[in-house]
Structure 1
Amino acid sequence: MDVGIVILAVSALCAGAILAGAAGQKIDAPLLLVFLLAGMLAGREGPGGIAIDADQTVLIWTSAALAAILFEGGLRTKPNIFKDGLKPGISLAVVGTLTTAFLVAPFAHWAFGLDWRASLLVGAIVSSTDAAAVFALAATGLKLPKKVAAALEVESGFNDPLAIFLVLGLSQSIALEPLSTSDWVFSLITKVGIGTLVGAGFGYFAPMLLSKLHLPSGLMSILMAALGFMSFGMSETFGGSGFLAIYLAGVTIAMRAPIRAQQAGAVLDGIAWLSQTSLFLVLGLLITPSHLSSVALPALGVSLALIFLARPLATLLSLSWFKYRIRDMTFVAWTGLRGATPVFLGLLPAALGVPNGNLYLSAAAVIVLLSLVIQGWTAPVVGRALKLNEGDDTPMDRGETLARLGAVGASIAVGAWFSFSLAPTSTLQSPATNTIASLQQALENAETIPTSFPDEFSNLQPAEKKSLFTHTLRDVLNRMNTEIELDRAQLQTLEARLKARGRLTLSEESSVSTIAKKYNLDFGLPNKLLDQIDIVPADIAVAQAALATGWGNSDSAVSRNAVFGRDTQSGYESLLDAAYGLAALYASHPEFDALRKERANLRKQDSVPNASSLIPLLGPFASDGPTYIEQVSAVVQSLETTP
């Protein structure tokens, strides 16, 4: 690959994202959001087509980027800020982070169908706040009370190492073996202890070294950054938390040599911005946009629980001991913005080989996006509404307020449309079958499938109606079963790759998730989905449709494509959708567990699920199970003689 083209592409991508962000500053559009979207456009499903995976190289780069952000945040911490915000900030960082993780877990368990360890992992990923996002509030003209600003700043520095500790421990417990209580305690003491000693040590001795040197300011800044990264590397080498070490090194240098720290600020501020934007750019490259449609709705539920329940309760538990006013705690709760750290934490499970790693990455992306949009755009409005602005007391005019709230609504609407447009669809063509002639033509064309029964279907003679009803539904079901077999073949291929490599790529995991969603299933491994997803013998489904509609004589059900007796009020867009609804019912509903086990057993015997084996297990479909089974069996026997 030509070096010049690569450099041109990367620089143009960065410049374009920055210029786009600058254009959006009229309404304070989050710049990081622009970089995320730029990465998605350049990524595997965008025009750029760049495909990367969450491997060790990406993990090292993103770790260094987050470390740079923490070091710069520590260096710019002023002594009075650290003094005023130390206790409440640490309380928010420890109590708030743990509380947030544990409160989000039940919602992740419900929304994604994950087990409790995986659900807690989701909570840990989104438990950490972002300092840069909070600092950006200053650009809006909102000057916060020192007590509030100090708590938010200290929290954002100290909660990152704890969140990373939780994510690493939970990832190890899921991917390898569960950690015992003693392992957790020992690991926490080791990481905090070593990280504190190394970070404080480097921070204490670095000013002594720097004071003896006379270097240009640029070299001095680079040397200071190198010392900070040395503290990170040394702490990690000896089993401590490198992220805690580099943050404490920055804070200690700022306390002992504030002038040196301020001189290095301009250079390191640029490095921190480069790190943050790179993190979001890499996230955009890693995301599979079509996979977002699989996680968007559950991630929205988790995000709302985080914003409106977990963060406020965590804030209340953390700050109620420090005599904060209600309006102060309300604003702290609202400005628990998520940013670079959850992006990095979302990468860790995938890079460490945790099953469904793409789920955590995509969920983190959606939750960070919603936090930036909902909380980031409205924080100035909330701050002024709570009368916390200690600067210009002029209230935000109605036009700006409405612009911010409108931007939030428009962004969520665009995101919803984006997810809907990327939702997986059938590969079969579905021409409108508005007439009997078009319906019969669709039946004769192997590349198309009927969408519905035409209005004139109800006027047919009983024998002709029964014949056309049977042939149409058989055709639809046979086409659907062909697609189901293709989905199963893809799952088998992915299962073989998982066994061979020990993990799936992000793109492969997105394929698994997309198939799972197609059948209303929770996210799972390929072998688990293979036991749940299988064909529906055409004669069984036709018999059920015949019983539900009287061989097509129920005009209301037929007109709504609800031919299998399900969702008769809302109906389905097409006959294929109705067939997939039936397949999803048998794949996901707990009452059909015995049917799924029988299908799996038949597959293990190299047999295809058939009507005779499955009919006795259809009892849960009707209130009178035994009678229903007899009726289905009788209709199936009659169909066996139908050509």
Structure 2
Amino acid sequence: MEQDVALAVVVLVAGGVAAQWLAFRFALPAIVILFAAGLLVGPGLGLIDPSEAMGHNLHALIGLAVALIVFEGGLALNFKELRAAGQGVVRLTVVALPVNWLLGALAAAYIGGLDWGASILFGAIMVVTGPTVILPLLRQARLERRSASFLKWEAILNDPAGAILAAAVLEFLILFQFGDDEALLEVALRLGVGLAVGVALGVGAAFLVRRLFVADLTPEILKTPMLLALALSVYALANLAISEAGLVAATVFGLTLANIDVPGLSELKRFKEGLVVLIVSTLFIVLVADLDTEVFLALSWPIVLLTLAMLLVVRPLAIALATIGSDLDWRERVLTGAIAPRGIVAAAVAGLAGARLAEVGYDEAALIEPTVFAVIATTVVVHGFALPPLARALGLSKGDDPAVAIIGASDWAVDLSRALGLAKVRVVLIDTFPGAAKRARRAGISAIQTQILSEEAEDRLADSPIDYALVATKDDVYNALVSARLGPDLGRERVFQLPAAGDVDLAHELDRDWRGKLFGRLPFAEYERRFEAGWRFAAEPATRALAPQTDEAGLVFVRGGRILFDSLEAQDGSGLEDGIAVVFLPPEEVRGREVEEEAAGSTSLLRSSVKR
């Protein structure tokens, strides 16, 4: 038995990580691959049966894992973002939730053929979208900030709300079935108490953490374990009041922490993000692998039609009704109405609630689980692939052009930015000196006057996030500090800094955790000296920059949405040879190229990029 459990855990964890890597490698929606992996190792090949391997503890473990997921989701909710999103978030949570419930229940009764008890419970389960599926899709789709905020806030807030709604509906239906005339009042009272307890526990735990962290009463090594322990504790305690109130407590705990200025929280967030990716990957495979073949046998044409109705009628109509008179424009209403993938909470609640409702005499309740999973499977696949192209078609995507931040707006950095722009790279220059930012803007380049390490910079870059960073100031120590700070967020392979001046060898003397990858071979002073002597950056076909007869180095290569910075440290440059290269040319090369182009009567990227 112990070996069966160990094998199941290894298969689930390894399969989840492998699915995430495949999604990254081939630019596919991770949630789709996870769903396919669950079907393969579970009903497909029969490698694992989570319920048999873990017994009755499975659902308790799933609940604890979901608590950590919604806690981490709450940490991503900042009230500044809420203010920027306007009233749309309120409409998508407070207003759209009951409308979704009503329309979902009607569709289940009149299209799916479920009895009214099962229909009401099905409608309650279907109000959730869930951060487990929305957040990975948002990272891939590159939505503009406001639209992403709508979907993110709705998913994170509706997840616990939908779970506790489903639990309350289930309890009411059971009491009603046994002839309890005051069932509604009893459930309403317990629901109110459960919500109050959940909110109180979440807020109280957050302020306890703030007190301990601000007063330095907790050593660094205990901070992350303390947060995880408290998230699980408030979840378990709130569930004593009413089932699923723990999800409210865990979400409120994370939400409060994110908005009360707790020092050192950003470093802890990164650890929990990685942990949650692992949990989500494992859980999704668990829930799909745990499906019994009877679930698939229960699928019928009414269920298929109900699934289509949920996608094409219920969700779009609910959002359209809930957002009447709001500040959402028609494009935002279309996007939010079209995208609503269901995830782990819906799957977990459906398996337990449907079976329990069937036990007390609701004949159609056994169809809840296959119907919910039909909606989950369809929305995961359809919305996973549809979100990026739909966002682009509606003009709500940031586009596929890569974005680079250059920290340090020197004259040569401005010239480099212009050349990158000709290669269709979006560049933003960041400098603390007002004159440098103004000079860059006069050259037609986006520039921000701010300290890159400040919260202000994070807020200003939120509307146009960056994919790569080049830290290019005069101060080598500052360059390393900024690179070390940006590395975990952007990926250490996407953060570069200039080599140090003199005999300092950063590649061997400073660990990669404390610096960026080294860009080019010249320190700041040498770029500055050469620029004053007439050297200029230019964009030209990479085949020419790589030709054996040329002496200049290709500093940056661009092809599609991929960028390769010239570095002494190993990088895979395959596939970029037919792209664009940004090179640093001496004066004689600049003049020679201009003469060639004038003779050919052409206007090339090189000619357009030279600063006269």
Q: Smaller-chain TM-score range? A: 0.5 to 0.7
Quickly say closer, same or farther: Cα 1:173–1:221, change in 2 above 3 A. same
Relative to 1, partners in 2 of residues 1:131 and 1:51: Cα closer, same or farther, differing over 3 Å? closer
Structure with max Cα Rg: 1
Classify 1:218/1:114 alpha carbon distance in 2 versus 1 (closer, same or farther; 3 Å). farther
CA contact 2:129–2:158 (8 Å) conserved in 1: yes
> Judging changes above 3 Å, is the alpha-carbon distance between structure 1 residues 90 and 244 closer, same or farther for their aligned structure 2 residues?
farther
Partner of residue 193, structure 2:
190
Aligned mate of 1:326, from 324, 330, 338: 330
Q: CA deviation at 1:128?
A: 0.4
Which deviations, in whole Å up to 9, do the C-alpha atoms of 1:233-259 show, x marking residues without a partner? 232234482211111110111111355
1:403-452 CA-partner distances (Å, limit 9, x unpaired): xxxxxxxxxxxxxxxxxxxxxxxxxxxxxxxxxxxxxxxxxxxxxxxxxx
Which of 240, 250, 258 is residue 237 of structure 1 equivalent to? Answer: 240
The alpha-carbon distance between structure 1 residues 125 and 13, as it changes in their structure 2 partners (threshold 3 A), is: same
CA distance in 2, matches of 1:298, 1:125: 18
Residue 19 of structure 1 and its aligned partner are, at CA, apart by 2.3
Kept in 2: contact 1:194–1:239 (CA 8 A):
no
Residue 50 of structure 1 is matched in structure 2 by: 49
> Which residue matches 1:134?
134
What one-letter code is carried by the residue in structure 1 that aligns with 2:349? L
TM superposition shift of 1:227: 1.6
CA shift for structure 1 position 79: 3.7
The one-letter code of the counterpart of 2:80 is: N
**Match of residue 165 from structure 2:** 166
Structure 1 Cα separation of the partners of residues 197 and 19 of structure 2: 43
Structure 2 CA distance for partners of 1:2 and 1:338, relative to 1, 3 Å: closer
SS of residue matched to 2:259? helix
SS of the aligned residue for 2:143 comes to coil
Q: 1:270 Cα deviation (Å)? A: 2.5
AA aligned to 1:300 is: V
Q: In structure 1, what is the equivalent of residue 67 of structure 2?
A: 67
How far did 1:186 drift?
A: 2.1
CA contact (8 A) 1:85 1:154 kept: no
CA 1:161/1:335 → structure 2, altered by over 3 Å: closer, same or farther? same
* Contact 2:50–2:290 (Cα < 8 Å) also in 1: yes
Partner of 1:371: 379
Does the 8 Å CA contact 1:131/1:156 hold for their aligned counterparts?
A: yes
In the alignment, which residue of structure 2 is the partner of 1:361?
369
Runs of 4+ in structure 1 deviating by more than 6 angstroms, as ranges, are none
1:344 aligns with 2:348: yes
- Per the alignment, residue 293 of structure 2 pairs with 289
Corresponding residue of 2:279: 275
Matched residue of 2:324: which SS?
helix
Q: Which one of 252, 256, 259 corresponds to residue 260 of structure 2?
A: 256
Q: Which residue does the alignment assign to 1:109?
A: 109
Q: Does the 8 Å CA contact 1:76/1:261 hold for their aligned counterparts?
A: no
* Preserved contact between residue 68 and residue 272 of structure 1 (Cα < 8 Å): yes
Distance 1:379 1:313, change over 3 A: same
Offset of residue 102 of structure 1: 1.3
Letter in 1 for 2:330: I
Q: 1:223-234 maps to which residues of 2 (within 5 A)?
A: 223-234=226-237
Is residue 2:21 matched to residue 1:22? yes
Give the C-alpha shift of residue 35 in structure 1: 3.2
Change (3 A) 1:366 1:221: same
Please say if 1:76 is aligned against 2:76.
yes
Aligned to 2:225: 222
Contact 2:212 2:218 in 1 (8 A): no
Alignment match, 2:34: 35
SS at match of 1:277: helix
Give 1:379's aligned amino acid.
Answer: L
1:524-573 deviations in Å (ceiling 9; x for gaps): xxxxxxxxxxxxxxxxxxxxxxxxxxxxxxxxxxxxxxxxxxxxxxxxxx
Output the CA distance in 2 between the equivalents of 1:259 and 1:82: 22
Query: Structure 1, residues 336-394: CA drift from partner, whole Å, max 9, x if none?
Result: 22112211221231464534665322222221110011112111111000011235579
Q: CA deviation at 1:92?
A: 1.4
Are 2:193 and 2:241, in contact at CA under 8 Å, matched by a contact in 1? no
Q: Give the conservation status (yes or no) of the 8 Å contact 1:94–1:162.
A: no
Give 1 or 2: higher strand fraction: 2
| Structure 1 residues 143 and 33: alpha-carbon distance in aligned structure 2, compared to 1, 3 A threshold | closer
CA distance, structure 2, for counterparts of residue 213 and residue 15 of structure 1 = 38
Tell me the CA shift for residue 86 of structure 1: 7.3
User: 1:158: how far off?
Assistant: 1.6
Task: Tell me the residue number matched to 1:200.
Answer: 203
**Change over 3 Å in CA distance of 1:6–1:63 after alignment to 2:** closer
Give the aligned residue type for 2:268: A
Residue 177 of structure 1 aligns to a residue in which SS?
A: helix
How far apart are the structure 2 equivalents of 1:44 and 1:335? 28
* 1:298/1:267 CA distance change after superposition, 3 Å: farther
Give the conservation status (yes or no) of the 8 Å contact 1:42–1:49: yes
Distance 1:315 1:366 in 2: 21
What residue identity is the alignment partner of 1:204?
F
How far residue 49 of structure 1 moved from its aligned partner, in angstroms, is: 5.6
Q: Match of 2:395?
A: 387
From the superposition, tell whether residues 117 and 94 of structure 1 become closer, same or farther in structure 2 (CA, over 3 Å). Answer: farther
Give CA deviations for 1:263-282 in whole Å, capped at 9, x if unaligned: 21122113322332233222
- Paired residue type of 2:204: G
* CA displacement at 1:191 relative to structure 2: 2.5
Alignment: residue pair count: 392
Equivalent position of 1:10 in the other structure? 9
Q: Offset of 1:215 from its aligned partner?
A: 5.6
In the alignment, what sits opposite 2:95? 95
**1:167·1:348 contact (CA, 8 Å) conserved in 2?**
no
Q: Distance in 1 between matches of 2:60 and 2:90?
A: 27
Per-residue deviation, 1:295: 1.7
Contact 1:68 1:271 in 2 (8 A): no
Shift in Å, 1:118:
0.7
Instruction: Give the letter for the 2:212 counterpart.
Output: L
> What displacement does 1:323 show?
1.3
Alignment match of 2:319 (pick from 302, 315, 318): 315
Rounded to whole Å, the distance in 2 between the matches of 1:17 and 1:143 is 25
Instruction: Answer 1 or 2: which has greater helix percent.
Output: 1
Q: Matches of 2:238 and 2:231 in 1, distance apart?
A: 11
CA offsets, 1:291-315, max 9 Å, x none? 3142253333222212222111221
Q: 1:298 to 1:393 in 2, by over 3 A?
A: farther
Partner of 1:147: 146
Scaled by the length of structure 1, the TM-score of the pair is: 0.56
1-side partners of 2:351 and 2:165: how far apart? 14
Q: Which shifted more, 105-114 or 64-73?
A: 105-114
Q: In the aligned structure 1, how far is the partner of 2:161 from the partner of 2:399? A: 34
- Normalising by structure 2, report the TM-score: 0.58
Larger displacement relative to structure 2 (371-380 or 331-340): 331-340
**Kept in 1: contact 2:112–2:305 (CA 8 A):** no
CA contact (8 A) 2:113 2:302 kept: no
Residues 575-623 of structure 1 show CA distances to partners (whole Å, capped at 9, x for unaligned) of xxxxxxxxxxxxxxxxxxxxxxxxxxxxxxxxxxxxxxxxxxxxxxxxx
Shift of 1:42: 3.6
- State the AA in 1 paired with 2:385: W
Question: In 2, distance between residues paired with 1:352 and 1:20?
Answer: 33
Query: How far is the alpha carbon of 1:326 from its aligned partner?
Result: 0.4
How many Å separate the matches in 2 of 1:197 and 1:257? 19
Q: Residue 388 of structure 1: SS of its match in structure 2?
A: coil
Q: Counterparts of 2:63 and 2:287 in 1: how far apart (Å)?
A: 13
Deviation at residue 58 of structure 1 after TM alignment: 2.5
C-alpha separation in 1, matches of 2:115 and 2:141: 44
Q: Name the CA distance, whole Å, in 2 between partners of 1:111 and 1:32.
A: 28
8 Å contact 2:392–2:399 — kept in the other structure? no
- CA deviation after TM superposition for structure 1 residue 286, in Å: 2.3
Taking the aligned partners of 1:10 and 1:17, their CA distance within structure 2 comes to 11
- Take 1:331 and 1:350, find their aligned partners in 2: how far apart are those partners? 31
Distance 1:19 1:282, change over 3 A: closer
Q: Distance in 1 between matches of 2:353 and 2:242?
A: 20
